[in-house]
Amino acid sequence: MQEQDKYIQEVLDHMLEGCQIIDFDWRYLYLNDVVIKHARQERGELLGRRMMEVYPGIDQTPLFDALKECMQSRTSKKLLNEFVYPDGSLAWFELTIKPVNEGLLITSLDITDYLNAQERVRKLNRVYAVLSDINQAIVRTRELQPLFEKACGIAVEKGDFLLAHIGILDEPNQGIKVAAYAGRSDSDLDKIKSFFKDNPVIECQVDALLHQGEHVVYDLIEHVDRLAPCHKIALELGCHSFGAFPLLVSGALRGVVTLYADAPDFFVEEELKLLDELVMDISFAMEVAAKEAARKHAEEEIRKLNAELEQRVQERTAELSDLYNHAPCGYHSLDGDGLFVRINDTELGWLGYSREEIIGKLKFADLLTPASVQSFSENFPTFKARGWIRDLEFDMVRKDGSILPVLLSATAITDQQGRYLVSRSMITDLTDRKRAEQAIRKSQAQLEAANKELEAFAYSVSHDLRAPLRAIDGFSRILAEEYQDRLDAEGLRLLAVVRTNTQKMDQLITDLLDLSRLTRNQMQFSRIDMTALASTIYQEIAVPETQQKFAFSVKSLPNAYGDAMLMRQVWSNLIANAIKYTLPSDKRVIEVGGYREAETNVYYVKDSGVGFNQEYTHKLFGVFQRLHSADEFDGTGVGLAIVQRIIHRHGGSVWAEGQNNQGATFYFSLPSMEPEHEPAK
C-alpha cells in the first residue's frame, strides 16, 4: 500500500497540470511543482495552511462557492478562473475539482496564453474586416469626403473602436481640421458633433513622429501630460487608449486618422501593422484624388489657356502686322526671280509707291541704280545658295527719281529639301549715316589741318622759342665768366637766377613737346618683361652713390603687352620721382611690385619718402600740378601727366596713395591679355 501511495505521488509530481489536495478543513495537504509555479510562492508558505489564510477573502468569491459545493456534495466540476496576483497581474486557469478521501483534488491548467492568442486573433479578424471594408469603399468612392465618413463608420462598426475621426492638416492655423467622425452610440455622436461644431479646427502640436510617417499610440489617455481638446472629450466618453496614424501624400503629412478604444493597452503590434496598411491605403486614395483634382484643374487651365492663347494669337497677329508695316526699317520678300511678293508700309513710304504698284509687278533690280543692279546680280545667286547675306549697300531709286541709299541683310526661307522659296529681307535707310560720314570726313580734314598747325607750333616752340632762351643763357654765362670781377655779389646772384630760370623754361618746353608727341606717335605693341625693365631703369637713372643710399627691390612682375618705349618712360618717371622724394628721408626704401587681378595687371612703385596729402590726390596727374614747391624739389609738374597719358593710351588707369611723411605708392594697371585690336593711336 505504501508503494502504491508512493507511485501515485510520483505521478502527481510529474504531471504537466497543477495538482493540489485540500482537506475538509481547507488546508493544503499536497501541491506539486506546477501549482507552486502557478502560485508564485514557496511550498512552505502554502503546505499545511488553510486557503483562507493564504488568500484572505477567497471565501467570498465564486471560486470558493464552487469548491464548497463540491466538498459538501462530493461531486466533480470544471470551471474557468481568473486569478489576480498581489502585483495586479492576471492569469486564467482551467480548474477540474474532484472529491477524494482526503477532501478535494484540484488540477489546474494555465490557459492565459491560449486566451490571449484567441483575443489577438479576434482583434486581427476585426481589423481585417475593417481593412477589407475600407478598401472596398476606396474602390467604390471617388470623392474624399464620403470616403472619410465611410472609413470612420467602418472603424467604429467593424473595428470595435469607441470613436474615430479623420482630420486634415491645417497649416495656417497650426492644427487639425476635422473632416469626418463616427461614434459607437447616438449619445456619443451627439457629443462629438457638438464638440466639432464648436471646434472645427483643433489647435494642437502635431507629434513629430507623425511628420516622419510613424504612428503614435497612448495606452492610457489618463497618463498623457497635455491632452488635446479632442482627447479630453474622448476621455469623457469612456475612451482609455488611442492611436494616431499619419496620412501621407507624396511623402508629406496631410492628415491624421485617430482611433479611440474603451480599454487601456488596446493596441497590439500585429494590429498596429494592419492599421498602418489601412491608413496607407487611405493615403493612396488621397494621393490619387489629389492627382485627379490636379488633372482636372490642369485640363481646365489648359482650356482657359487655349482660349486665352487663341485670343492672344489674334491680338499678336494684328500686333505683328502693325509692327511689320510700321517698323523703323523696311521689310520685303523676294521670290526666286527677285520679284516682290511682300513689302511693308515703311519701305513703301520711303520709295513713294503703293503696294499694288510693286507686289507681283516689280523686281528688286527694277528699283536700283545701274551700279547697284550689277552688285545685286552678283550677290543674289550666292544668297539663294547660301541662305543668308549681311550688310550689302544699294542705291535705290524712288518713284520721284531721287536716290535712297540702303543697307540690306536677308535670310532665305526654304522647303524641306532646302530649295529656296522666298527671302526675308530688311533694309535700313542710310541717308543719315551718309550725311554723318560726310560730316566726319569734313571734321577729319579739319582735324588734320589743326594737327598740322599744332605740329608747326611745336616746331616753332622747339626752334624759334628755344633759340632766344639759349642766347639768354649763353650771354648770361659769358657775363658771369668774363665780367665776374666787375660785378658785385648781387649782380652775380641775379645772373645765376636768370640762367636757372632759362634752363627751367627750356626743360618745360622739352616736357611739353614730349607730352604732345605721346598723342601723335603710333604705338608698337609687343610682350614686355616688366621685371627686367623696372630693374634696368633703376640701374640707369640712379648713379652708384645714389644706389648706396637706397634699399631698392623689384618683385616678380606679370609681363605686359604694350609699347616698350612708352613703358620705359612710365617706369623712368615713377622710379625717378621715388628717388627724388625719398632722398631727404632717413630711411630710403623703394619697392616695385605687381599682381594679377581678374583680367588686369596692376603694377606699383612704393617709397618711404615725404609722401603727400591724400586730399589732393586728384591734382597729382594734372599738367603743371605740383604738391611740393620748386624750392623743395625741382621739376616741371609734367612727369606724372605723361605717365597718365601713356597708361590711358594702353587702356589702363593710374592712381596713388600716400600720407605726409609716410611715403607714397603709385599704381598703374594694364589689360592682362593681348588685345584683339590695338588701342586707338
Q: Directed axis angle between helix 639-649 and helix 564-582, to 10°?
A: 150
Question: Which pLDDT tens digit goes with each residue over 580-597?
Answer: 878 777 778 999 999 998
Report DSSP state, residue 58: G
Q: Mean pLDDT highest for which of 178-182, 449-453, 644-648?
A: 644-648
Regarding whether 104 and 55 lie in a shared domain, the answer is yes
3-state helix, strand, coil in the chain (%, to 5): 50, 25, 25
How many Cβ atoms sit within 10 Å of the Cβ of residue 287? 16
Q: Give the span between the Cα atoms of 407 and 404, in whole angstroms.
A: 10
186-217: burial string, b at 16+ Cβ within 10 Å, e else: eebeebbeebbeebebbebebeeebeeeebbb
Q: Sheet with 252-261: list strands edge to edge.
A: 201-203, 175-183, 163-170, 252-261, 241-249, 216-218
- C-alpha to C-alpha distance for 96 and 80, rounded to whole angstroms: 9
Quote the Cα angle for 537-659-548, to 5°: 35
Residues 177 and 219 in one domain: yes
In a domain, 309, yes or no: no
d(CA 243, CA 256): 10
The pLDDT confidence band at residue 679, using thresholds 50, 70 and 90, is: very low
Phi/psi at 413 (nearest 5 deg)?
-100, 125
In a domain, 314, yes or no: no
Residues 299-308 have pLDDT tens digits of 888 988 888 8
**What letter does residue 522 receive in the DSSP assignment?**
P
pLDDT band at 633 (very low <50, low <70, confident <90, very high): low
- Percent share of the chain, pLDDT over 90: 29
CB 558 within 8 A of CB 670: no
CATH number of the domain encompassing residue 339 = 3.30.450.20
Q: Place 680 in a pLDDT band, splitting at 50, 70 and 90.
A: very low
Range of the domain at 338: 327-407
Examine the pLDDT at 473 and tell me if it is beyond 70: no
Last residue of a domain, one of 463, 498, 517: 517
Q: Calculate the alpha carbon distances from 220 to 9, 85, 208 in Å.
A: 47, 21, 20
Confidence of residue 512 (pLDDT cuts 50, 70, 90): low
d(CA 190, CA 181): 11
Q: Would you state the pLDDT for residue 308?
A: 87
Give 612's contacts (C-beta < 8 A, 6+ positions apart): 620, 627, 628, 656, 658, 659, 660, 664
Percent with pLDDT over 70 in the chain: 82
pLDDT in tens, 89-129: 888 999 999 999 999 999 999 888 888 777 777 777 777 77
381 pLDDT higher than 90: yes
User: Which bin fits 611, alpha (ψ -120 to 50), beta or left (φ > 0)?
Assistant: left
Cell 511543482, residue?
A: 33
With a cut of 50, say whether residue 681 has pLDDT above it: no
Say what the pLDDT of residue 456 is.
Answer: 59
User: Among 174-188, 393-407, 610-624, which stretch is predicted with the lowest mean pLDDT?
Assistant: 610-624
DSSP letter (8 states) at residue 680: P
106 and 123 fall within a common domain: no
- Name the region of 250 (left: φ>0; alpha: ψ -120 to 50; beta: rest): left
Question: Would 642 be classed as within a structural domain?
Answer: yes
- The three three-digit cell numbers of residue 518, written as one number: 605721346
Sign of the dihedral through C-alpha 64, 69, 72, 75: negative
Instruction: Pick the more confident residue, 612 or 68.
Output: 68
pLDDT at 677: 41
Query: Who's near 350: CB < 8 A, 6+ residues apart?
Result: 330, 398, 404, 429
Q: Return the CATH number at 609.
A: 3.30.565.10
Are 614 and 657 found together in one domain? yes
Judge if 398 and 469 occupy the same domain: no
pLDDT at 258 over 70: yes
Q: Beta-carbon neighbour count of residue 264 at 10 Å?
A: 14
Considering the domain architecture, whether residues 146 and 51 belong to the same structural domain is answered as no
**Confidence band (pLDDT; 50, 70, 90) for 7?**
low
Tell me the three state secondary structure of residue 678: coil
Instruction: Count other Cβ atoms within 10 Å, centred on residue 638.
Output: 21
In a domain, 60, yes or no: yes
Q: How many other CB atoms sit within 10 Å of the CB of residue 658?
A: 22
Distance CA 469, CA 508 (A): 12
Quote the strand ranges of 377-500, DSSP E: 388-397, 403-414, 420-429
Residue 361 and residue 232 share a domain: no
Q: Stretch 515-529: mean pLDDT, rounded?
A: 73
Last residue of a domain, one of 482, 517, 552: 517
Model pLDDT, residue 368: 93
In a domain, 13, yes or no: yes
For range 640-651, the mean pLDDT: 87
- The answer to whether 191 and 237 are in contact (CB under 8 A) is yes
Using DSSP's 3-state secondary structure scheme, residue 512 falls into: helix
Hey, what's the cell of 582?
625719398
Confidence of residue 227 (pLDDT cuts 50, 70, 90): low
C-alpha cell at 235: 476621455
Report whether pLDDT(73) > 90.
yes
Q: Are residues 351 and 391 in the same domain?
A: yes
- The pLDDT value recorded for residue 678 is 41
The verdict on residue 617 lying in a domain is: yes
Contact 389, 382 (CB under 8 A): yes
| 423-427, 556-560, 619-623: least confident range | 619-623
| pLDDT score of 466 | 63
Q: Is residue 289 in some structural domain? A: yes
Distance between CA atoms of residues 73 and 79, nearest Å: 17
Sequence-separated (6 or more) residues with CB below 8 Å from residue 275: 127, 215, 243, 245, 259, 267
Comparing CA positions, the residue from 42, 56, 51, 45 lying closest to residue 22 is 51
What's the pLDDT tens digit per position in 30-63? Answer: 999 898 888 888 888 889 999 999 888 888 999 9
Inter-residue contact 668 to 652 (CB < 8 Å): yes
Residues 269 and 222 in one domain: yes
Compute the distance between CA of residue 576 and CA of residue 138 in angstroms, rounded to an integer.
94
Q: Give the end of a domain, one of 407, 423, 458.
A: 407
CA distance 363 to 423: 13
Rounded CA-CA distance 332/345 in Å is 10
Rounded to 10 degrees, what is the CA torsion of 279, 285, 290, 296?
A: -170
**One domain for residues 356 and 371:** yes
Split into its structural domains, the chain has a count of 5
583 and 598 both lie in a single domain: yes
Of the pLDDT bands very low, low, confident and very high (cuts 50, 70, 90), residue 69 is very high
DSSP characters over 118-173 = HHHHHHHHHHHHHHHHHHHHHHH--SHHHHHHHHHHHHHHTT--SEEEEEEEETTT
- Range picked from 13-17, 167-171, 203-207, 593-597 for highest mean pLDDT: 593-597
In a domain, 542, yes or no: yes
Does residue 169 surpass a pLDDT of 50? Answer: yes
- Which tops the pLDDT comparison, 382 or 273? 382
421-430, 498-507, 579-588: range with lowest mean pLDDT = 498-507
**Mean per-residue pLDDT, 536-557:** 88
The residue that leads in pLDDT, 199 or 89, is 89
Give this prediction's pTM: 0.38
| Same domain? 579 vs 513 | no
